[in-house]
Amino acid sequence: MKNWHWLVGILLITALTLLLEIPADTWLTSATLSLILGATALAYMAVSCLLASRWRVVENLFGGLDRVYDTHKWLGIWALVFASYHLVFKANLEVWNSVPIVELSKYWTRMVRQLSYVALGMIVLLALNRNIPYSVWRWWHKLSGPLFLIVILHGLSFKSPITLLSPAGIWLGVLCVLGILAALYKLLLYPFVARAGEYRVINVRSDKGAVHLTLAPIGKGFAFKAGQFAFLSFKDKGLREPHPFTIACAHRENGHLEFVIRALGDYTQALREQVKIGMIADLYAPYGHFKRPANAAKEIWIGAGVGISPFIAWLQDPHGERFDAATLIYCFNPARAFPPAEQLQQVAEQRGVAFVANSGGTEQLAEHLRQALNHTSPAAVHVSFCGPKGLLLRVRELMRECGVPEKNLHVELFEFR
């Protein structure tokens, strides 16, 4: 399912359950629209809290935690848009005979209404502001759950035709209860019940603005599939915030893990400068559903920068098959290539995967794609991509030019924040 499926689906269910509560001759009014959009904003926030829980059942439903977070982001954005209309236009009519579910004084009813909008605005704006250091952003974003309670109190205290046992009341009530439970779990329980284990850094290699880490489990390791990722939280000052990184190796009997991390932000820059052998990290894993397609006649793997990490894991997968049907295109800047293209080529050739070093930008990539499609029907080609959004747009264009169906593209979303 795509993001708009969730956005439209929640909107339609909320609208239909609300329309059952009010006279039909008032449906086409600004008050009805305001009521629907306000209730939908509440539903979006509840579902957004649910998606942020990292529960396995939620990840499986969406087909990967990367897609969960993308939907989570858009739910927040549209919740703010809908709440803005709800704030401006009155969501009540005399003929509705509306009453609040929780009675507050007029002062506190108005205060909670205003605070709920401010709370939602703060949540969304902080989440989208990339200029805030990650350590500060993460702690501010943790307030999303408590601020959600203010929005719920507004929904309970303002006059509306919604009752707790009405279809709309049951729908919104179930979502809000699940959202509260998910927020409490993420805020209080997640660090204790979701941890995959403690790991020690046993090897560090730095070069060209990136670092290659090898970690060994303290005790028993965890099972994972090639292409999945983990959240790392180092037990050192400034590096404690869990941060997602793709596991750049396949599962090994000794439990060792490898990560290729480029210093692109404040956290990763600090990590590259401070990490050393012997440091201890908590890992929360495994997450992600980035896996090879079944029975594809031709596979094209496109990894850009640190987006090469899941493909390194695929190359090392001892259970992997049909490597002769795959072509790996490594897009990199020669001044920042890590790992080096020569090293990747050697690994690819050992597994029988055709390797293409693409350091000439999108025009060279277009030529490489056309060559990889030689003697193969475009409909039988499957493209797997991990890299920046800008390059992804170009890959989509090239696929259309070459006649490769959009459904044959599998993407690991590159950014969470």
The CATH number assigned to the domain holding 26 equals 1.20.120
pLDDT of 134 reads 65
Residue 83 located in a structural domain: yes
Note the pLDDT tens digit of each residue in 145-189.
788 898 999 999 988 999 999 999 999 999 999 999 999 998 889
**250, 182: one domain:** no
What is the three-class DSSP state of 200?
strand
Order of strands across the sheet with 210-217? 243-246, 229-234, 280-287, 195-207, 210-217, 257-262
What is the three-class DSSP state of 295?
coil
**87, 147: one domain:** yes
**188, 201: one domain:** no
pLDDT of 257 reads 95
Confidence of residue 336 (pLDDT cuts 50, 70, 90): confident
**245, 278: one domain:** yes
Alpha carbon separation from 151 to 10, 98, 213 (Å, rounded) = 18, 19, 43
**151, 226: one domain:** no
**28, 156: one domain:** yes
**401, 336: one domain:** yes
Confidence of residue 414 (pLDDT cuts 50, 70, 90): low
pLDDT of 126 reads 72
pLDDT of 24 reads 95
Note the pLDDT tens digit of each residue in 16-51.
999 999 999 999 999 999 999 999 999 999 999 999
Distance CA 371, CA 140 (A): 48
Mean pLDDT, the chain, whole residue set: 89
**19, 158: one domain:** yes
Structural domain for 274, as ranges:
195-287
Q: Are 292 and 246 in contact (CB under 8 A)?
A: no
Residue 417 located in a structural domain: no
The CATH number assigned to the domain holding 200 equals 2.40.30.10
Note the pLDDT tens digit of each residue in 224-254.
999 999 999 999 988 888 889 999 999 998 9
What mean pLDDT do residues 53-66 have? Answer: 89
Could you give the percent of the chain with pLDDT greater than 90? Answer: 53
Structural domains of the chain, count: 3
Phi-psi label, residue 211: left if phi above 0, alpha if psi -120 to 50, beta otherwise: beta
Residue 375 located in a structural domain: yes
Distance CA 102, CA 80 (A): 24
Please provide the size of the chain in residues: 417
pLDDT of 130 reads 66
HSE-CB at 182 with a 13 A cutoff on CA atoms is: 22
| pLDDT surpassing 90 at residue 127 | no
**306, 406: one domain:** yes
Residue 292 located in a structural domain: no
Q: Are 309 and 211 in contact (CB under 8 A)?
A: no
Residue 59 located in a structural domain: yes
